[in-house]
Every structure is written in C-alpha cells, then in structure tokens.
Amino acid sequence: MKKFLKFLVLFLAIIIFCLFSITIVTLIKKYNNKEFKIIERLNISPVLADHFKVLSFEIENKKLFLNLEDQRTNILLIKIYDISNGNEIGEIILN
C-alpha cells in the first residue's frame, strides 16, 4: 500500500509539472507572437483612373479586394492590395 501511494504521488506530481510547463510555454508564445501587429493608421492610395468606379470592397487575410467597373468599356475587374505595405498584388478581369 505504501509503495502504491508513493507511486501515485510521484505520478500526480509529474502530471502537474507537465501541465504547468505547457501553460507557461503557451503564455510565453501568446505574448511573443509578433504576427498580429496593431496598425493604428494605414494609408493605401490605389492609383485608379477617373473612369473606374468602385462597386465594393472586401478585406480578407491581410488583403484588400476592390471590385471596380470601367465605365468606358463596362469591364468588371478586381484589384488586390496587400494591407501590410499597400502594394498592388494582382488584378482579375471578370468581363
């Protein structure tokens, strides 16, 4: 009986130590995570000609999607900008 109690106490101590270590590591990773930067103000100035009309926009996965219509030719297109630096990533022509 004495041997069983010693084993049980030692086993529970190891479990508590492991869970405490996991908790500490998780808290350290949470506060050292630099992926999510708080941007107070970001100016993105897409260069659009006067004949483009913005129909809608969407922000997803650090990308800005602008749905545009060329009023001269009635062509619909989507321009994609990177929010972190404001650069144009790509353009999709729909019509």
Distance (Å, whole) CA 52 – CA 79 = 11
Number of domains in the chain: 2
Top pLDDT among 37 and 45 is at 45
Residue 90 has pLDDT above 60, yes or no: yes
Check pLDDT > 60 for residue 64: yes
Minimum mean pLDDT range among 18-22, 23-27, 29-33, 64-68 = 29-33
- Tell whether 43 is covered by a domain: no
Indicate if 61 and 29 belong to the same structural domain.
no
Taking residues 14-33, report their average pLDDT: 91
| Residue 5 domain-assigned (yes or no) | yes
Strand 63-70 to 52-60 pairing = antiparallel
What value does the mean pLDDT take over residues 59-83? 89
For the full predicted model, state whether its pTM sits above 0.85.
no
Look at residue 46 and tell me if it is in a domain: no
Q: Residue 81 sits in which domain range?
A: 52-93
One domain for residues 30 and 59:
no
Residues 32 and 59 in one domain: no
